[in-house]
């Protein structure tokens, strides 16, 4: 006679907790997001296409996603460098610098936008030096990128920093003993271990940039076809009581953001599988 042993769950009451989790996510996330598509369904296909493909809307897509991508790439590089300095070096005021990294998290976005606009304005602390050489930041698409870099940097630093702290230095020493130079040690030993977390930080910074509003509208200038981001265009349509048009644009933003994040998660999963091999 064979006895079948019933596998016990580590967490007691798994069915109850799982049901509560699904219910909570449905109320907080799924139902509000589904309301966007339900409201968009009131439009005909022709009306939907007209709402989401007008030249002004397409220009806002281009600026929002393009600036978010550029800002996320910049943060991926300098966020990695910042995390490396905070983990591997001893320097005076290290705790202050570490706390400043989290400042964009705590600072209200409107305050950040006003501050960036005043600093990078033609008569601002930094703008006065950039204006004579022909670099205009405030009220241009470049200002949008700067604002997205400001609010996205902590995501990269805080995702890479714990992994870097757990990375043993013995591995680097072993690579050096085997004849690897510094570049080879970084590219073949350190970077593969950091890549999944770096990719996660990149995805978070990109997602934050796509949905950012408060810190951008003050420095962007909000000129249609030039420096108008998609979230501002959605707010404008809501103020005009064009709810169907606003939800149509929001649905496109939601679908595009989801596809980008899904692609990043697939790449991240593949990189982990490759690393484990």
Torsion 82-87-91-92 (CA) sign:
positive
Say what the pLDDT of residue 2 is.
45
Which regions in the chain score pLDDT beneath 70?
A: 1-14, 271-272, 274-277
Domain boundaries, the chain: 64-276
Is the Cβ–Cβ distance between 144 and 63 less than 8 Å?
A: yes
pLDDT of residue 17: 78
CA dihedral 156, 158, 163, 165 (to 10 degrees): 130
Task: Return the pLDDT at 126.
Answer: 92
CA distance to 126, 160, 222, per residue, from 60 (Å) = 27, 31, 10
pLDDT of residue 1: 44
What distance separates the 2 farthest-apart alpha carbons in the chain? 89
Q: What is the pLDDT of residue 221?
A: 86
Least Cα distance to 233 among 109, 58, 110, 108 occurs for 58
DSSP code of residue 53: S
In whole angstroms, what is the distance from residue 115 CA to residue 165 CA?
A: 33
114: nearest Cα among 257, 236, 216, 10: 216
Separation of alpha carbons 208 and 65, rounded Å: 11
pLDDT of amino acid 277: 62
| Architecture in CATH for domain 64-276 | Orthogonal Bundle (1.10)
Burial group, residue 119, by CB count within 10 angstroms (0-12, 13-18, 19+)? middle
Q: Which of 150, 105, 117 is nearest to 218 (CA)?
A: 117
């Amino acid at each position: 006679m064979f006895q079948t042993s019933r596998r016990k769950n580590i967490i007691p009451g798994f069915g109850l907790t799982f049901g509560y989790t699904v219910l909570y996510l449905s109320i907080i996330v799924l139902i509000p997001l589904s309301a966007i598509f339900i409201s968009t369904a009131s439009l005909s296909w022709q009306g939907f296409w007209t709402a989401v493909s007008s030249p002004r809307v397409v220009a806002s897509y281009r600026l929002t996603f393009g600036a978010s991508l550029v800002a996320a790439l910049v943060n991926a590089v300098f966020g990695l460098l910042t995390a490396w300095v905070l983990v591997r070096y001893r320097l005076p005021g290290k705790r202050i610098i570490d706390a400043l990294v989290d400042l964009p998290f705590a600072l209200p976005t409107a305050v950040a936008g006003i501050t960036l606009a005043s600093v990078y304005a033609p008569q601002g602390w930094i703008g006065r030096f950039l204006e004579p050489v022909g670099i205009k930041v405030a009220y241009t698409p470049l200002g949008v990128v700067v604002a997205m870099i400001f609010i996205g940097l902590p995501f990269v630093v805080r995702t890479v920093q714990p992994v870097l702290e757990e990375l043993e230095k013995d591995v680097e020493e072993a690579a050096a003993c085997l004849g690897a130079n510094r570049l080879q040690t970084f590219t073949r030993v350190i970077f593969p271990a950091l890549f999944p977390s770096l990719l996660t930080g990149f995805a978070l910074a990109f997602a934050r940039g796509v949905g950012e509003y408060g810190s951008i509208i003050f420095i962007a200038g909000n000129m249609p076809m030039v420096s108008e981001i998609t979230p501002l265009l959605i707010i404008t349509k809501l103020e005009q009581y064009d709810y169907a048009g606003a939800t149509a644009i929001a649905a496109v933003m939601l679908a595009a953001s989801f596809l980008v994040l899904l692609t990043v998660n697939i790449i991240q999963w593949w990189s982990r599988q490759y690393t484990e091999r």
